[in-house]
Amino acid sequence: MLRRIATSVLAAGVLAGLVISLVQHITTTPLILEAEKFEASVTPSNDWAFDVVRTLVHAGETHDEDGNTVWGPDGGFERILFTTLTNILLGVGFAAILVAGFVMRGRAVDGRIGAMWGMAGFACISLAPALGLPPELPGMIAGDLVERQGWWLMCALATAAGLATMTFSTAWVWRIAGIVLIVTPHAIGAPHLHVEEVGLVPAELAAQFAAASLVTAAVFWSVVGWLAGTVYQRMEPSA
């Protein structure tokens, strides 16, 4: 069983990470590079979280507000390499969550069912949180990072619990409770920065990035789920 789980997780995660890296190179990466041209004019801030994010999204060495050199991946091959490695790690992590669900469910799984589980993961991790906190480009104005992370975590967990309750329960009272769980984070509202200042990124570019990011995430989760379900089925021990 352990070999079956490990093989399914690694195979699905690595292959999905490679596939989505190619998709991102065509869809979201050009938009990020375009946004960084606008963000280049941003002056140093006193917000350490902002400075960290800005360092990560820029290519090559950058400098913090004290003038110290901070390392960052160079453009071109190095940036593509680190992006691909990150996607592979994410793919392995997502595949581990899905395969854990397969094991706990204890029923037969194939590629089709795996893809359905993957789309459920997309709904919890990407789609539902995006209703309150759309994907953001560098240079966009955003609220406090800790508050946004807290709301995102609450939304993802509530959506997962709500979907599980609606799917695996037969009583209507539990299904209604699942709907309430899904709606609650949005009723509370995501944290936003209420200021008159506007971001440097054009609204059209931001909207295009949000749409491209969600479509890319849907493809990522579908591929991870399909591969995890397919490999998990093929690794099933014979009678």
Task: Please tell me the predicted confidence (pLDDT) of residue 122.
Answer: 96
How many angstroms separate the CA atoms of 96 and 76, rounded?
30
pTM: 0.78
For residues 72 and 54, what is the distance between their CA atoms, to the nearest angstrom? Answer: 10
In a domain, 48, yes or no: yes
pLDDT exceeds 50 at position 9: yes
Q: Tokens 């200021």 appear where?
A: 195
Question: Judging by DSSP bridges, how do beta strands 69-70 and 62-63 pair with one another?
Answer: antiparallel
Residue 217 lies in a domain: yes
Q: Is residue 170 part of a domain?
A: no
Which residues span the domain enclosing 103? 2-143+192-234
Is residue 77 in some structural domain? Answer: yes
Q: Please tell me the total count of domains within the chain.
A: 1
User: Would you say residue 176 lies in a domain?
Assistant: no
As beta bridge partners, residue 63 has 69
Which stretches of the chain are DSSP H helices? 2-26, 28-39, 48-57, 77-105, 111-122, 128-132, 145-168, 172-188, 203-234
E-assigned strand segments in the chain: 62-63, 69-70
What integer pLDDT is reported at residue 170 of this predicted model? 84
Establish if 7 belongs to a structural domain.
Answer: yes
User: Is 152 within the bounds of a domain?
Assistant: no
Residue 124 has pLDDT above 80, yes or no: yes
